[in-house]
Homo-oligomer: A and B are copies of this chain.
Amino acid sequence: MEVKTRAPGKIILSGEHAVVHGSTAVASSIDLYTFVSLRIATPSDDQDSLKLHLKDMALEFSWPISRIREAFPESATVLSSMPTSCSMESARAIAALVEELNIPEANFGLAPGISAFLWLYSSIQGYKPATVVVSSELPLGSGLGSSAAFCVALAAALLAFTDSVLVDVNHQGWLSFGVKDLDLVNKWAFEGEKMLHGKPSGIDNTVSTYGNIISFKSGNLTHMKSTMSLKMLITNTKVGRNTKALVAGVSERMLRHSDAMAFVFSAVDSISKELTAIIQSPTPDELSVTEKEAKIEELMEMNQGLLQSMGVSHATIETVLRTTLKYKLSSKLTGAGGGGCVLTLLPTLLSGTVVDKVIAELESCGFQCFTAGVGGKGVEISFVVPS
């Protein structure tokens, strides 16, 4: 049997950085996905290896099943219904397995992802020979939650072959999971994220798993459903950033100017609250959508100004802002800042010609553009009919 899963990326609509200091933030899924297809070997297949094919990078890795068995002796006792964290022994075994791969230097950054793969695979599927193919519409390491989407899609695919989740194998097309199953997927994905990020917030995997829009404050998450079909232009500046250093920079500024910064964070909190009110309010007519979009644009502009006052903007971000402003479009950075991605609201009534022009101009600056719907479904599964 073969299954294919897809898990969405995420954007931060408001509140990045301020959330670290107690403000509300709002995150949303986007309809750009990471796809995982998993084929557990049938008797006619190769029974001796676990294969990982990273399609976008044209990289293939393979491990003899005997090595996996040797590396994870305790996997035999792990229950797929009981997510656990990677032990020190397993971490060491994984490090050894990854080292043996001789990953090309340009792809060293993939090592944590491969580690997460080995951990999730051996924990949920044990020592079964299989082929896993991964591809993604999300740029890596740009704050759009590509690693969480990978962990979620992978965990969902792996769990689909266990008794821990219930899915209708005869369903055609993309199928959602039940809430309990999503909870399990999310927990395993979070364990994978830990291997990738050390101390992840859990927001990325949660948004990717459940989809829609989530507001979070002081560790508490609130799921909500948008009544609007917002569309964003996402511009990847391709400037890598050091999230930890950016977060630390804001905290230092907070120590130096505590009164002013406390008000800055409170302003962001108000913006997030207003945003959640707008996107959940009923929409009676077309005019009202336009008005709501105008309000959201203004909130984005305000949030961007506040992020600038926190010191996390970047010259490339400013270039995107300036370019989109020429077309009277509102933008804000999303995620850590210091590069990364910028969101630009694409209002419902905006002509496609304008969108094409903005994208052409941004791409001529060397940026990468995506358009994405906001607040769609979370992880889904599809059963590949044997041909």
Contacts and interface: CB of A to CB of B under 8 A. Distances in A.
Interface in A337-363: none
A32 B306 CA distance: 33
A130 to B, nearest CB: 51
A285 B332 CA distance: 41
A100 interface: no
Contact of A263 (B270, B321, B325): B270
B298 A253 contact: yes
Q: How many copies does the complex hold?
A: 2
A315 interface: yes
Interface stretch (A147-155, A254-262, A376-384): A254-262
Interface string A299-316: 101111111111101010
A325 B315 CA distance: 8
Contacts of A305: 305-310, 313
A274 B259 contact: yes
A5 to B, nearest CB: 39
A302 B298 contact: no
B299 A304 contact: no
A295 interface: yes
B322 A315 contact: yes
Contacts of A268: 260
A62 B269 CA distance: 61
B309 A301 contact: yes
Contacts of A263: 263-264, 266-267, 270
Contacts of A48: none
A274 B260 contact: yes
A318 interface: yes
Contacts of A307: 305
Contact of A260 (B270, B311, B322, B325): B270
A132 interface: no
A271 interface: yes
A267 B256 contact: no
26 contacts: A253-B298, A256-B298, A257-B270, A257-B274, A257-B298, A259-B273, A260-B267, A260-B268, A260-B270, A260-B271, A260-B274, A260-B302, A263-B266, A264-B302, A267-B267, A298-B311, A301-B308, A301-B309, A303-B309, A304-B308, A304-B309, A305-B305, A305-B307, A315-B322, A315-B325, A315-B326
Closest 7 A/B residue pairs (Cβ)? A305-B309, A305-B308, A263-B267, A260-B270, A259-B270, A302-B309, A263-B266
Given A305-B305, A305-B310, 6 more contacts: A257-B274, A260-B270, A260-B271, A264-B264, A298-B311, A304-B309
